[in-house]
Structure 1
Amino acid sequence: MIRAVIFDMDGVLVDSEMLYLNLRYQFAKEKNPGVTLEELIPTVGRSSEGSWGIVAKAVHNGMRWQELLAEYKEKVVVTYPSLDFTSIFREEAREVLQKLKEKGIRLALASSNGLAIVEKILADNGIRHYFELVVSGESFYRSKPDPEIYIHTAASLGVGAGECLVVEDSTAGITAAHRAGMQVAALVDDRFGFDRSLADFEVGRLRDILELPAFTGKGSLAR
Protein backbone atom coordinates (compact mmCIF):
# COMPACT_ATOMS: atom_id res chain seq x y z
CA MET A 1 0.00 0.00 0.00
CA ILE A 2 1.37 3.40 -0.99
CA ARG A 3 1.09 5.92 1.84
CA ALA A 4 3.49 8.59 0.58
CA VAL A 5 4.63 10.00 -2.75
CA ILE A 6 8.05 11.63 -2.86
CA PHE A 7 8.71 13.97 -5.78
CA ASP A 8 11.99 15.02 -7.28
CA MET A 9 12.07 18.70 -8.29
CA ASP A 10 14.19 19.34 -11.38
CA GLY A 11 12.88 17.66 -14.49
CA VAL A 12 9.72 16.56 -12.69
CA LEU A 13 7.82 19.51 -11.22
CA VAL A 14 9.76 22.02 -13.32
CA ASP A 15 11.23 21.36 -16.75
CA SER A 16 14.54 22.82 -15.65
CA GLU A 17 17.11 20.34 -16.95
CA MET A 18 17.60 22.14 -20.27
CA LEU A 19 17.78 25.49 -18.48
CA TYR A 20 20.62 24.31 -16.24
CA LEU A 21 22.34 22.56 -19.15
CA ASN A 22 22.42 25.78 -21.16
CA LEU A 23 23.82 27.70 -18.20
CA ARG A 24 26.63 25.15 -17.83
CA TYR A 25 27.21 25.33 -21.59
CA GLN A 26 27.56 29.11 -21.62
CA PHE A 27 29.94 28.94 -18.66
CA ALA A 28 32.04 26.22 -20.31
CA LYS A 29 32.24 28.13 -23.62
CA GLU A 30 33.75 31.08 -21.79
CA LYS A 31 36.57 28.74 -20.75
CA ASN A 32 36.85 26.98 -24.10
CA PRO A 33 34.91 28.28 -27.14
CA GLY A 34 35.22 24.86 -28.74
CA VAL A 35 32.95 23.14 -26.22
CA THR A 36 29.73 21.81 -27.74
CA LEU A 37 26.35 21.39 -26.10
CA GLU A 38 26.37 17.71 -27.06
CA GLU A 39 29.50 17.15 -24.96
CA LEU A 40 27.67 18.40 -21.89
CA ILE A 41 24.37 16.51 -22.29
CA PRO A 42 25.74 13.65 -20.11
CA THR A 43 26.07 16.14 -17.21
CA VAL A 44 22.28 16.23 -16.81
CA GLY A 45 20.98 14.43 -13.75
CA ARG A 46 24.40 13.44 -12.40
CA SER A 47 26.05 14.14 -9.06
CA SER A 48 28.30 17.21 -8.78
CA GLU A 49 31.44 15.14 -9.21
CA GLY A 50 30.06 13.22 -12.18
CA SER A 51 28.63 16.29 -13.87
CA TRP A 52 31.58 18.60 -13.35
CA GLY A 53 34.09 15.92 -14.18
CA ILE A 54 32.51 15.94 -17.64
CA VAL A 55 32.64 19.75 -17.77
CA ALA A 56 36.32 19.71 -16.78
CA LYS A 57 37.12 17.20 -19.53
CA ALA A 58 35.26 19.29 -22.11
CA VAL A 59 36.82 22.58 -21.01
CA HIS A 60 40.29 20.98 -20.80
CA ASN A 61 42.03 24.09 -19.45
CA GLY A 62 43.85 22.58 -16.49
CA MET A 63 41.19 23.47 -13.92
CA ARG A 64 39.97 20.67 -11.65
CA TRP A 65 36.24 19.99 -11.56
CA GLN A 66 36.09 21.31 -8.00
CA GLU A 67 37.58 24.64 -9.12
CA LEU A 68 35.18 24.93 -12.04
CA LEU A 69 32.20 24.14 -9.82
CA ALA A 70 33.29 26.68 -7.21
CA GLU A 71 33.56 29.39 -9.86
CA TYR A 72 30.22 28.38 -11.38
CA LYS A 73 28.52 28.70 -8.00
CA GLU A 74 30.11 32.09 -7.46
CA LYS A 75 29.17 33.48 -10.88
CA VAL A 76 26.09 31.56 -12.04
CA VAL A 77 24.30 29.81 -9.18
CA VAL A 78 23.94 33.14 -7.39
CA THR A 79 21.73 34.26 -10.29
CA TYR A 80 19.25 31.39 -9.82
CA PRO A 81 16.87 33.48 -7.65
CA SER A 82 16.35 35.81 -10.61
CA LEU A 83 15.34 33.01 -12.99
CA ASP A 84 11.70 32.63 -13.99
CA PHE A 85 10.75 29.16 -12.79
CA THR A 86 7.05 29.80 -13.37
CA SER A 87 7.57 29.61 -17.14
CA ILE A 88 8.90 26.04 -16.91
CA PHE A 89 6.53 24.78 -14.21
CA ARG A 90 4.52 21.72 -15.22
CA GLU A 91 1.01 23.09 -14.64
CA GLU A 92 -0.54 19.64 -14.35
CA ALA A 93 1.52 19.15 -11.16
CA ARG A 94 -0.98 21.27 -9.24
CA GLU A 95 -3.87 18.96 -10.12
CA VAL A 96 -1.83 15.84 -9.35
CA LEU A 97 -0.75 17.14 -5.95
CA GLN A 98 -4.29 18.19 -5.07
CA LYS A 99 -5.80 14.83 -6.01
CA LEU A 100 -3.15 12.84 -4.18
CA LYS A 101 -3.77 15.00 -1.13
CA GLU A 102 -7.50 14.31 -1.38
CA LYS A 103 -6.72 10.58 -1.40
CA GLY A 104 -4.91 10.97 1.91
CA ILE A 105 -1.48 10.44 0.39
CA ARG A 106 1.36 12.13 2.24
CA LEU A 107 3.57 14.27 0.02
CA ALA A 108 7.26 15.07 0.26
CA LEU A 109 9.90 16.54 -2.01
CA ALA A 110 13.49 15.31 -2.16
CA SER A 111 15.70 17.39 -4.45
CA SER A 112 19.43 17.43 -5.07
CA ASN A 113 19.20 21.19 -5.50
CA GLY A 114 19.90 23.71 -2.74
CA LEU A 115 17.13 24.31 -0.21
CA ALA A 116 16.85 28.05 -0.91
CA ILE A 117 16.20 27.58 -4.62
CA VAL A 118 13.86 24.63 -3.98
CA GLU A 119 11.77 26.73 -1.60
CA LYS A 120 11.73 29.59 -4.12
CA ILE A 121 10.46 27.35 -6.91
CA LEU A 122 7.73 25.92 -4.70
CA ALA A 123 6.69 29.35 -3.45
CA ASP A 124 6.78 31.03 -6.88
CA ASN A 125 4.49 28.34 -8.27
CA GLY A 126 2.17 28.30 -5.27
CA ILE A 127 2.60 24.62 -4.37
CA ARG A 128 4.64 24.71 -1.15
CA HIS A 129 1.58 23.98 1.02
CA TYR A 130 1.09 20.57 -0.57
CA PHE A 131 4.34 19.20 0.85
CA GLU A 132 4.57 17.96 4.39
CA LEU A 133 8.33 17.70 4.06
CA VAL A 134 10.94 19.30 1.79
CA VAL A 135 14.43 17.81 1.78
CA SER A 136 17.51 19.18 0.00
CA GLY A 137 20.51 17.20 -1.16
CA GLU A 138 22.82 19.81 0.33
CA SER A 139 22.05 18.26 3.73
CA PHE A 140 23.73 14.98 2.78
CA TYR A 141 27.30 13.91 2.22
CA ARG A 142 26.41 11.61 -0.68
CA SER A 143 24.31 12.61 -3.70
CA LYS A 144 21.92 10.55 -5.81
CA PRO A 145 22.31 7.76 -6.97
CA ASP A 146 23.09 7.10 -3.30
CA PRO A 147 19.74 6.32 -1.62
CA GLU A 148 20.48 8.37 1.51
CA ILE A 149 18.13 11.24 0.72
CA TYR A 150 15.19 8.90 0.10
CA ILE A 151 15.88 6.76 3.15
CA HIS A 152 15.98 9.91 5.28
CA THR A 153 12.77 11.28 3.76
CA ALA A 154 10.81 8.09 4.45
CA ALA A 155 12.14 7.90 8.00
CA SER A 156 11.18 11.54 8.62
CA LEU A 157 7.65 10.82 7.40
CA GLY A 158 7.50 7.71 9.57
CA VAL A 159 6.64 5.42 6.67
CA GLY A 160 8.35 2.33 5.34
CA ALA A 161 10.32 2.33 2.11
CA GLY A 162 7.83 -0.11 0.60
CA GLU A 163 5.03 2.35 1.31
CA CYS A 164 6.64 5.08 -0.83
CA LEU A 165 6.32 5.90 -4.51
CA VAL A 166 9.03 8.15 -5.90
CA VAL A 167 8.56 10.28 -9.02
CA GLU A 168 11.88 10.80 -10.79
CA ASP A 169 13.26 11.47 -14.25
CA SER A 170 17.04 10.98 -14.21
CA THR A 171 19.16 7.83 -14.09
CA ALA A 172 20.71 8.89 -10.78
CA GLY A 173 17.36 9.69 -9.17
CA ILE A 174 15.68 6.49 -10.35
CA THR A 175 18.65 4.47 -9.11
CA ALA A 176 18.62 6.20 -5.71
CA ALA A 177 14.92 5.50 -5.16
CA HIS A 178 15.26 1.89 -6.33
CA ARG A 179 18.21 1.31 -3.98
CA ALA A 180 16.10 2.76 -1.14
CA GLY A 181 13.59 -0.04 -1.75
CA MET A 182 10.83 2.23 -3.04
CA GLN A 183 8.58 1.96 -6.08
CA VAL A 184 9.61 4.35 -8.83
CA ALA A 185 7.53 6.12 -11.47
CA ALA A 186 9.86 7.53 -14.12
CA LEU A 187 8.70 10.61 -16.01
CA VAL A 188 9.81 9.96 -19.57
CA ASP A 189 12.28 12.47 -21.01
CA ASP A 190 14.24 11.20 -24.00
CA ARG A 191 16.34 14.33 -24.53
CA PHE A 192 19.15 13.28 -22.19
CA GLY A 193 19.52 9.53 -22.59
CA PHE A 194 18.31 8.63 -19.11
CA ASP A 195 18.25 4.94 -18.18
CA ARG A 196 14.80 4.06 -16.80
CA SER A 197 15.34 0.31 -16.57
CA LEU A 198 15.13 0.28 -12.75
CA ALA A 199 11.80 2.12 -12.67
CA ASP A 200 8.64 0.19 -11.81
CA PHE A 201 6.51 2.40 -14.07
CA GLU A 202 7.01 4.92 -16.86
CA VAL A 203 4.69 7.90 -17.17
CA GLY A 204 4.52 10.19 -20.16
CA ARG A 205 3.11 13.03 -18.09
CA LEU A 206 2.61 13.72 -14.40
CA ARG A 207 -1.16 13.21 -14.63
CA ASP A 208 -0.53 9.54 -15.44
CA ILE A 209 0.58 9.02 -11.84
CA LEU A 210 -3.07 9.16 -10.81
CA GLU A 211 -3.73 6.12 -13.04
CA LEU A 212 -1.15 3.91 -11.37
CA PRO A 213 -2.54 0.73 -9.78
CA ALA A 214 -1.73 2.04 -6.29
CA PHE A 215 -4.31 4.79 -6.74
CA THR A 216 -6.91 3.09 -8.95
CA GLY A 217 -6.77 -0.55 -7.90
CA LYS A 218 -6.85 -1.59 -11.55
CA GLY A 219 -4.80 -1.61 -14.71
CA SER A 220 -1.12 -0.83 -15.05
CA LEU A 221 1.27 1.42 -16.91
CA ALA A 222 4.30 0.36 -18.90
CA ARG A 223 7.35 -0.68 -16.95
Structure 2
Amino acid sequence: MIKAVIFDMDGVIVDSEPVYLKIQWEYAKKKNPDVTYKQLFPMVGATKKDAWSVMEKAVDNGQTWQELRTEFKEKIDLFTNTDYQSIFRPEIKSVLDALKNQGYKLAVASSTQIDVVEKVMKVNSIYTYFDTLVSGDQFTMSKPDPEIYHYTAKKLGVKENECFVVEDSPYGILAAKRAGMTVAALYDSSFHFDQHLADYHIQNVKEILDILLKMEKS
Protein backbone atom coordinates (compact mmCIF):
# COMPACT_ATOMS: atom_id res chain seq x y z
CA MET A 1 0.00 0.00 0.00
CA ILE A 2 1.35 3.42 -0.97
CA LYS A 3 1.69 5.78 1.99
CA ALA A 4 3.99 8.47 0.62
CA VAL A 5 4.51 10.40 -2.61
CA ILE A 6 7.99 11.75 -3.36
CA PHE A 7 8.58 14.37 -6.04
CA ASP A 8 11.74 15.19 -7.91
CA MET A 9 11.96 18.96 -8.34
CA ASP A 10 13.72 19.97 -11.56
CA GLY A 11 11.62 18.83 -14.50
CA VAL A 12 8.68 17.80 -12.33
CA ILE A 13 7.66 20.66 -10.02
CA VAL A 14 9.42 23.33 -12.09
CA ASP A 15 10.38 23.07 -15.75
CA SER A 16 13.87 24.32 -14.98
CA GLU A 17 16.06 21.96 -16.97
CA PRO A 18 15.77 23.76 -20.35
CA VAL A 19 16.43 27.09 -18.58
CA TYR A 20 19.57 25.79 -16.89
CA LEU A 21 20.86 24.08 -20.02
CA LYS A 22 20.45 27.17 -22.21
CA ILE A 23 22.54 29.18 -19.75
CA GLN A 24 25.19 26.44 -19.76
CA TRP A 25 25.09 26.35 -23.56
CA GLU A 26 25.72 30.11 -23.77
CA TYR A 27 28.72 29.60 -21.51
CA ALA A 28 30.02 26.73 -23.69
CA LYS A 29 29.62 28.68 -26.92
CA LYS A 30 31.86 31.46 -25.62
CA LYS A 31 34.63 28.87 -25.40
CA ASN A 32 33.76 26.93 -28.54
CA PRO A 33 31.19 28.44 -30.96
CA ASP A 34 30.64 25.03 -32.56
CA VAL A 35 29.05 23.51 -29.43
CA THR A 36 25.40 22.63 -30.10
CA TYR A 37 22.55 22.67 -27.59
CA LYS A 38 21.91 18.99 -28.28
CA GLN A 39 25.50 18.07 -27.41
CA LEU A 40 24.81 19.14 -23.83
CA PHE A 41 21.60 17.08 -23.38
CA PRO A 42 23.45 14.38 -21.35
CA MET A 43 24.19 17.02 -18.69
CA VAL A 44 20.53 17.05 -17.63
CA GLY A 45 19.91 15.05 -14.46
CA ALA A 46 23.49 13.76 -14.33
CA THR A 47 25.92 13.83 -11.41
CA LYS A 48 28.24 16.83 -11.23
CA LYS A 49 31.17 14.84 -12.59
CA ASP A 50 29.19 13.21 -15.40
CA ALA A 51 27.44 16.48 -16.37
CA TRP A 52 30.57 18.58 -16.50
CA SER A 53 32.52 15.84 -18.25
CA VAL A 54 29.98 16.32 -21.06
CA MET A 55 30.80 20.04 -21.00
CA GLU A 56 34.55 19.28 -21.02
CA LYS A 57 34.20 17.06 -24.09
CA ALA A 58 31.97 19.56 -25.92
CA VAL A 59 34.14 22.61 -25.22
CA ASP A 60 37.38 20.70 -25.86
CA ASN A 61 39.70 23.57 -24.95
CA GLY A 62 42.05 21.82 -22.54
CA GLN A 63 40.18 22.77 -19.36
CA THR A 64 39.13 19.94 -17.05
CA TRP A 65 35.50 19.48 -16.02
CA GLN A 66 36.41 20.68 -12.53
CA GLU A 67 37.99 23.89 -13.90
CA LEU A 68 35.01 24.55 -16.17
CA ARG A 69 32.49 24.01 -13.37
CA THR A 70 34.41 26.21 -10.93
CA GLU A 71 34.72 28.98 -13.49
CA PHE A 72 31.03 28.75 -14.40
CA LYS A 73 29.96 28.97 -10.75
CA GLU A 74 32.23 31.98 -10.17
CA LYS A 75 30.83 33.87 -13.17
CA ILE A 76 27.19 32.78 -13.29
CA ASP A 77 24.63 32.58 -10.47
CA LEU A 78 22.40 30.01 -12.14
CA PHE A 79 19.80 29.71 -9.38
CA THR A 80 19.44 33.36 -8.39
CA ASN A 81 18.82 34.38 -11.99
CA THR A 82 16.06 31.83 -12.59
CA ASP A 83 12.43 32.92 -12.24
CA TYR A 84 10.93 29.84 -10.58
CA GLN A 85 7.39 31.19 -10.59
CA SER A 86 7.33 31.47 -14.38
CA ILE A 87 8.40 27.81 -14.82
CA PHE A 88 6.27 26.35 -12.02
CA ARG A 89 3.82 23.68 -13.18
CA PRO A 90 0.48 25.16 -11.99
CA GLU A 91 -1.24 21.77 -11.70
CA ILE A 92 1.16 20.78 -8.90
CA LYS A 93 -0.74 22.73 -6.26
CA SER A 94 -4.10 21.00 -6.83
CA VAL A 95 -2.33 17.62 -6.88
CA LEU A 96 -0.64 18.37 -3.54
CA ASP A 97 -4.00 19.48 -2.11
CA ALA A 98 -5.60 16.21 -3.15
CA LEU A 99 -2.74 14.06 -1.88
CA LYS A 100 -2.64 15.85 1.46
CA ASN A 101 -6.40 15.48 1.89
CA GLN A 102 -6.08 11.77 1.17
CA GLY A 103 -3.50 11.37 3.92
CA TYR A 104 -0.35 10.75 1.92
CA LYS A 105 2.98 11.85 3.33
CA LEU A 106 4.77 14.15 0.90
CA ALA A 107 8.43 14.85 0.17
CA VAL A 108 10.79 16.38 -2.36
CA ALA A 109 13.99 14.49 -3.18
CA SER A 110 16.10 16.69 -5.44
CA SER A 111 19.73 16.66 -6.56
CA THR A 112 19.70 20.46 -6.24
CA GLN A 113 21.14 22.19 -3.16
CA ILE A 114 18.72 22.55 -0.25
CA ASP A 115 18.56 26.37 -0.18
CA VAL A 116 17.37 26.37 -3.79
CA VAL A 117 14.83 23.59 -3.08
CA GLU A 118 13.44 25.63 -0.18
CA LYS A 119 13.36 28.77 -2.32
CA VAL A 120 11.40 27.05 -5.10
CA MET A 121 8.87 25.69 -2.62
CA LYS A 122 8.42 29.05 -0.88
CA VAL A 123 8.13 31.31 -3.95
CA ASN A 124 5.46 28.98 -5.33
CA SER A 125 3.61 28.75 -1.98
CA ILE A 126 3.88 24.96 -1.65
CA TYR A 127 6.49 24.72 1.12
CA THR A 128 4.01 23.74 3.83
CA TYR A 129 2.65 20.76 1.90
CA PHE A 130 5.81 18.71 2.38
CA ASP A 131 6.76 16.64 5.39
CA THR A 132 10.42 16.76 4.37
CA LEU A 133 12.69 18.30 1.72
CA VAL A 134 15.82 16.35 0.83
CA SER A 135 18.82 17.50 -1.22
CA GLY A 136 21.41 15.41 -3.03
CA ASP A 137 24.10 17.59 -1.43
CA GLN A 138 23.47 15.64 1.78
CA PHE A 139 24.95 12.48 0.27
CA THR A 140 28.26 11.20 -1.06
CA MET A 141 26.64 9.68 -4.14
CA SER A 142 24.08 11.38 -6.41
CA LYS A 143 21.25 9.86 -8.42
CA PRO A 144 21.21 7.19 -9.91
CA ASP A 145 22.51 5.98 -6.54
CA PRO A 146 19.42 5.15 -4.44
CA GLU A 147 20.77 6.64 -1.19
CA ILE A 148 18.64 9.79 -1.45
CA TYR A 149 15.45 7.72 -1.74
CA HIS A 150 16.34 5.33 1.09
CA TYR A 151 16.97 8.36 3.29
CA THR A 152 13.73 10.09 2.27
CA ALA A 153 11.67 7.00 3.08
CA LYS A 154 13.33 6.82 6.49
CA LYS A 155 12.62 10.51 7.14
CA LEU A 156 8.96 9.95 6.24
CA GLY A 157 8.74 6.89 8.49
CA VAL A 158 7.64 4.55 5.68
CA LYS A 159 9.08 1.53 3.88
CA GLU A 160 10.54 1.91 0.41
CA ASN A 161 7.81 -0.21 -1.17
CA GLU A 162 5.23 2.17 0.31
CA CYS A 163 6.63 5.10 -1.71
CA PHE A 164 5.42 6.41 -5.06
CA VAL A 165 7.94 8.61 -6.88
CA VAL A 166 7.41 11.17 -9.65
CA GLU A 167 10.57 11.62 -11.75
CA ASP A 168 11.56 12.60 -15.26
CA SER A 169 15.25 11.85 -15.88
CA PRO A 170 16.71 8.34 -16.39
CA TYR A 171 19.05 8.92 -13.42
CA GLY A 172 16.20 9.75 -11.07
CA ILE A 173 14.02 6.91 -12.30
CA LEU A 174 16.85 4.42 -11.85
CA ALA A 175 17.62 5.73 -8.35
CA ALA A 176 14.00 5.28 -7.23
CA LYS A 177 13.74 1.82 -8.82
CA ARG A 178 16.97 0.75 -7.14
CA ALA A 179 15.45 1.86 -3.85
CA GLY A 180 12.49 -0.47 -4.46
CA MET A 181 9.91 2.25 -5.07
CA THR A 182 7.08 2.59 -7.60
CA VAL A 183 7.90 5.25 -10.21
CA ALA A 184 5.83 7.41 -12.53
CA ALA A 185 7.81 9.14 -15.29
CA LEU A 186 6.58 12.57 -16.36
CA TYR A 187 6.91 12.83 -20.13
CA ASP A 188 9.78 15.01 -21.26
CA SER A 189 9.40 16.85 -24.56
CA SER A 190 12.72 18.70 -24.41
CA PHE A 191 15.39 16.03 -24.09
CA HIS A 192 13.62 12.79 -25.07
CA PHE A 193 14.75 10.95 -21.95
CA ASP A 194 14.81 7.16 -21.88
CA GLN A 195 12.09 6.51 -19.29
CA HIS A 196 11.46 2.82 -19.98
CA LEU A 197 12.32 1.69 -16.42
CA ALA A 198 9.37 3.58 -14.93
CA ASP A 199 6.26 1.68 -13.81
CA TYR A 200 3.94 4.36 -15.17
CA HIS A 201 4.24 7.02 -17.86
CA ILE A 202 2.30 10.25 -17.50
CA GLN A 203 1.78 13.40 -19.58
CA ASN A 204 0.60 15.50 -16.64
CA VAL A 205 1.24 15.25 -12.88
CA LYS A 206 -2.54 15.13 -12.28
CA GLU A 207 -2.54 11.59 -13.69
CA ILE A 208 -0.87 10.25 -10.56
CA LEU A 209 -4.15 10.75 -8.65
CA ASP A 210 -5.93 8.21 -10.86
CA ILE A 211 -2.96 5.84 -10.72
CA LEU A 212 -2.87 5.93 -6.92
CA LEU A 213 -6.65 5.41 -6.75
CA LYS A 214 -6.39 2.32 -8.97
CA MET A 215 -3.47 0.99 -6.91
CA GLU A 216 -5.54 1.47 -3.75
CA LYS A 217 -8.40 -0.56 -5.20
CA SER A 218 -6.27 -3.39 -6.59
Deviation string for 1:101-138 (max 9, x for gaps)?
00000000000001111111111100000001000111
SS in structure 2 of the partner of residue 165 of structure 1: strand
Separation of aligned partners in 1, 2:41 and 2:135: 23
Paired position in structure 1 for 2:161:
162
Partner of 2:150: 151
What is the CA deviation profile of residues 177-223 of structure 1, one whole-angstrom value per residue up to 9, with x for unaligned ones? 000000001001132131111101011101101110x3245799xxx
How far the C-alpha of 1:83 sits from its partner, in A, is 2.0
Give CA deviations for 1:145-203 in whole Å, capped at 9, x if unaligned: 00010010001111000000000000000000000000001001132131111101011
Instruction: Tell me the residue number matched to 2:213.
Output: 215
Partner of 1:206: 205
Distance 1:217 1:161, change over 3 A: closer
Match of 1:97 in 2: 96
Give the alignment's Cα RMSD to 1 decimal: 1.4
1:208 & 1:111 partners in 2: Cα distance?
Answer: 21
**Does 2:81 match 1:82?**
yes
Q: One-letter code of the match for 1:29?
A: K
- The aligned amino acid for 2:92 is A
The letter of the residue matching 1:120 is K
- Mapped to 2, the partners of 1:49 and 1:79 lie a distance apart of 18
1:120 and 2:119 aligned: yes
TM-score of the pair, normalised by structure 2: 0.96
**Equivalent residue pairs, number:** 218
8 Å CA contact 2:20–2:78 kept in 1: the answer is no
Residues 178 and 184, structure 1, Cα contact 8 Å, conserved in 2? yes
Give aligned-pair identity as a percent: 51
Query: Residue type of the partner of 1:34?
Result: D
